Amino acid sequence: MPIAQRHADGVSLTIRAKPGSKRNRVTCNGTRLLVEVAAPAVEGKANEAVIAAVADAFGMRPRHVQLLRGDTSRDKVLLLTGIALEQVESMLKSLQGDPP
């Protein structure tokens, strides 16, 4: 399954969230987008931090990133609006160079 796919309202992005990390970081290994956030997985704080981290990594405003699936799961699907699939794929390639 690809990380990014066309969606009727934008681009869907499949991610793996890691709450309670030392710092916020978004990395890609080619098959998975890992979003590490310092926020704990309590009362939606980690989901808010994931949305903010993804928005920042893709140069978007948080209001253009929505959680589609995975509210209580580490595996989530986000919807990015106002951005083309080709832009997302290009940004994913640039995130692959980040250290683990």
Q: What is the dihedral of CA 45, 13, 34, 2, to 10 degrees?
A: 160
pTM score = 0.91
Tens of pLDDT, residues 25-83: 999 987 889 999 999 999 999 999 999 999 999 999 999 999 999 999 999 999 999 99
Structural domains of the chain sorted by starting position, each given as residue range(s) with its CATH number in brackets: 4-92 (3.30.1200.10)
Q: What local confidence, expressed as pLDDT, does residue 100 receive? A: 47
Q: Looking at residue 30, what is its pLDDT?
A: 78
Q: Which of 16-20, 31-35, 94-98 has the highest mean pLDDT?
A: 16-20
pLDDT band of residue 85 (cuts 50, 70, 90) is very high
CA dihedral 60, 61, 64, 65 (to 10 degrees): 80
Do the bridges between strand 65-69 and strand 10-18 make them parallel or antiparallel, or are there none, so unpaired? unpaired
